[in-house]
Amino acid sequence: MEQCILLKYGELILKGLNKGRFEKLLLDHIRAAIAPYGDFSVYTMQSAVYVEAKSGATCDFEGAYEAAKKVFGIAALSLCALCPKDMDAIKATAADFLADRLRQVKTFKVEAKRADKRFPLGSPQISAELGGYLLQQFPHLKVDVHNPDMIVVAEIRDQKACVHEASEKGAGGLPVGANGKAMLLISGGIDSPVAGYMMMKRGMTVDCVHFESFPYTSEAAREKVLTLASELTEYCGKIKVHVISLTHIQEELRDNCQEDYFTLLLRRFMMRCAAALAKQQDCIALVTGESVGQVASQTMEALGVTENGIELPVLRPVIGMDKEEIIRISR
């Protein structure tokens, strides 16, 4: 049986003359993500991306499917069986490809999508004919059009027909690299990795900078940051993490400033150092995980002071979220 992964565009479909650039980035990311799972052909047609095994190649479609779920720019995806655009072939393929799942459920419905309008049957006729055949092959099933256990989808596309379960939601957003590069200030918490994830979803490439104060901070703290950054690589491919020591600055502030201003001044130095590094690395913005009022140093006044004096824009994608919302995204 011939299989493929069918990937549907999200925002890319709205792009104009620069759509080709976004598509190229998306295809490059898909190819990189699925490369460990076999030798695939990846191409676009009818505002969708097809991932098929090259002739003679043995491919792990399930592994590639899971990897493709984390590629930004994909709104929905399906693991499909391909067959000729003929109702007998569509019925036989659906019964074979979806047999295991159909045996596990009690109710189902069929949805048909006729992208090729030359196909002689309309969508309601395709649904009725395929549904009737599946009821014959799996007598325990019942049709439930309102709340089915399973949705069987038959798509009549330009070259072939596709049969699959209801599409799963993809990562969404825009392909990484479509909107420039930013420097993420990353700590050992979850707020900053979530902020980085959200900017990647908007098409930004991200480098990270972590500030340590050895011996006041431990080697374990650095390793935790590297672990968090490695989690993000599943969505962007690779991340460069810069580590800057603030020990000398921290000691000077301790000895020479009022205690009430210590944290605020230290964070201001972090922003200045991050901005200087960002310019060296050709980044066009800083990204932080700051949320208004979450801690004492994240009042509106404090946020204004910490970014005053740097030229780059500071992006704060979690600025209006509470902790539960941030935790939900991190999970």
3-state helix, strand, coil in the chain (%, to 5): 45, 25, 35
Write the CB contacts of 185 (distance below 8 Å, at least 6 apart in sequence).
192, 208, 209, 210, 211, 270, 271, 274, 286, 287, 288, 289
DSSP characters over 18-41: THHHHHHHHHHHHHHHHGGG--EE
What residues form DSSP beta bridges with 83?
161
Task: Determine the pLDDT at residue 215.
Answer: 85
Tell me, what's the pLDDT at 192?
95
How far is it, in rounded angstroms, from Cα 298 to Cα 275? 19
Q: Which residue has the tokens 């209801």?
A: 166
Q: Tell me the C-alpha distance between 291 and 271, whole Å.
A: 16
* Bridge pairing between strands 285-287 and 314-315: parallel
Residue 200: φ, ψ to 5°: -60, -40
Q: How far apart are the C-alpha atoms of 122 and 176, rounded to whole Å?
A: 39
With H, G, I as helix, E, B as strand and everything else as coil, classify residue 305: helix
Each residue's pLDDT expressed in tens, for the chain with a length of 331 residues: 899 999 998 888 878 888 889 999 999 999 999 999 999 999 998 788 999 999 888 999 999 999 999 999 999 999 999 999 999 999 999 999 999 999 999 999 999 999 888 999 999 999 999 999 999 999 999 999 999 999 999 999 888 999 999 999 999 999 999 999 999 999 888 999 999 999 999 999 999 999 998 887 888 888 999 999 999 999 998 899 999 999 999 899 889 988 888 888 888 999 999 999 999 999 999 999 988 877 777 777 778 878 887 999 999 999 999 999 999 999 9
Rounded to an integer, what distance in angstroms lies between the CA atom of residue 149 and that of residue 142? 10
Q: Extract the tokens encoding 123.
A: 């969508």
Reference 209, options 299, 310, 285, 261; nearest CA is 285
| Residue whose C-alpha is closest to residue 40's, from 27, 57, 26 | 57
> Do 70 and 33 contact (CB within 8 A), yes or no?
yes
Cα-atom radius of gyration of the chain, to the nearest Å? Answer: 25
pLDDT at 214: 85
pTM: 0.87
